[in-house]
Amino acid sequence: MRQWNFKITQNKAPERCEICHQIDMFDRQTNVCYRCNSLPIQQLANPIFIISPSTVATAMATVLAAICFVVGIIDINALFSKRLNVLMYYPMSFYMRIMIINLINLMFSIALFYWCKDKHNDRLTYQVVVWGRIASVIGMIGSGAGLLIPLPGIFIRL
C-alpha cells in the first residue's frame, strides 16, 4: 500500500465562484456569488420528488370508502339488532346475496385499508386518506361480522 503525504503550504480564500467560475459578481469577503446565489443548488443536488394527488384516484377512493362505510354500518346495525344470526335461516337466494355482498365489501375494505397506508397513498389527498382509513375499518368490522356470524347457514343447507 502506497502512502501519500500532502503538506498544505498555502491557504488562500477563493477568488472566483465555484459554480460559474466567474469573478465579476463574486464577493471574496463573504464567499457569495450574486449570480449563483439564487440557484436552488441544495434542491438540485438532493432532489425531492413530490407526487401530486390525482383527481381520479382521489374520486375513486372517496366512492370506494363510501361503499365500504355504508355496507359496514348496515352490518354493524344488523349485528346489534340481532338480525345477523337469524340471517342463516332466511331463504337461500336472499342469504347468498347478502353473503356475496359482504364478501365483496370485505375485500373492498381490505384493499382500501392498504391503499390508504403511507406506502401507497401518494396519489390521494390527506382528507381522503383519513376518510378512507375510517371507512375501511368500519367496512372490515361490519362485513367481517356480516360474513362470519351467518356462516353456519351454509351447513344448515348442506
C-alpha cell at 144: 367481517
Which one of residues 11, 13, 17, 118 is an interface residue with Zn ion (CB under 5 A)?
17
Q: Which is nearer to Zn ion, 36 or 73 (CB)?
A: 36
Q: Which residues pair with 34 in a beta bridge?
A: none
Q: Considering just the CA atoms, what is the radius of gyration of the chain in Å? A: 31
C-alpha cell at 72: 359496514
- Percent helix, strand, coil in the chain, to 5, is 55, 5, 45
> Residue holding cell 401518494?
122
16-24, 53-61, 89-97, 114-122 -> range binding Zn ion (CB under 5 A):
16-24
Region 50-89 residues binding Zn ion, contact defined as CB under 5 A:
none
20-28, 51-59, 77-85, 87-95 -> range binding Zn ion (CB under 5 A):
20-28
The answer to whether 36 contacts Zn ion (rule: CB under 5 A) is: yes
The answer to whether 20 contacts Zn ion (rule: CB under 5 A) is: yes
Q: Which positions lie near Zn ion, rule CB under 5 A?
A: 17, 19-20, 33, 35-36
